[in-house]
Amino acid sequence: MLPLAGESPLGPLLPEHPEEFFIGLVLFGVVFLVVWKVVVPMFEKTYAERTAAITGGIEKAEAAQAEASAALEEYKAQLATAREEASRIREEAKAQGAAIIADMRQQAADESSRMLASAKAQIEAERAAAVHQLRAEVGGLATTLAGRIVGESLDDDERARRTVDRFIAELEQPAGVEQA
């Protein structure tokens, strides 16, 4: 193949003039140095910033996760404390309830005893009053009846009282037992 007009006999990659080759080589070196001194440090800086941002984000996420774990543990501890306190309060309430019930039962028993004693005293007083009234009525009837049977008046109070007492004593003695 023959070279065309304006082409170098060495091919399209090799320049015709060797100075072009050296100028191209020098310009390549200048561009390489500019890229090496300006562009590469900018890429390195950007890479370092991104790495730091990613590392910082990971560290922040780990710190947030550790903080969340600590908060969860604190919450669990507070919940356990609250449950223990609720259990203690429940037990205290049960104990207070039992004490109140026992106190109320004791008060009811005391009130019942007091009412029973009061009723017994009242019954005894009414019985004594009834016996006294009955003695008076029986005594009056006995003196009147004895006066009619004997035929003389038993208006003498001392004699009437002795007669009534003797009559009542005879009534109170069980049957079959004689006085001495």
Local mean pLDDT, 10-residue blocks, the chain (180 residues):
55 73 91 94 94 91 94 95 95 95 95 94 92 80 73 64 75 62
> What's residue 48's pLDDT?
94
> What's residue 139's pLDDT?
73
Helix runs in the chain, H state only: 18-34, 40-150, 157-172
The model's pTM is 0.38
**Given the structure tokens 């507070």, which residue do they identify?**
78
Rounded CA separation 164/113 (Å):
39
> What's residue 104's pLDDT?
95
Contact 8, 16 (CB under 8 A): yes
> What's residue 154's pLDDT?
59
Contact 136, 161 (CB under 8 A): no
> What's residue 81's pLDDT?
96
**Given the structure tokens 């309830």, which residue do they identify?**
97
Rounded CA separation 159/88 (Å):
82
Residue 124 CB contacts under 8 Å (≥ 6 apart), including other chains: none
Largest interatomic CA distance in the chain: 198
> What's residue 151's pLDDT?
61
> What's residue 177's pLDDT?
54
Rounded CA separation 167/176 (Å):
16
Residue of 55, 75, 56 lying closest to 67 (CA atoms): 75
- How wide is the angle at C-alpha 67 spanned by C-alphas 65 and 71, nearest 5°? 115
- Name the 3-class secondary structure at 15: coil
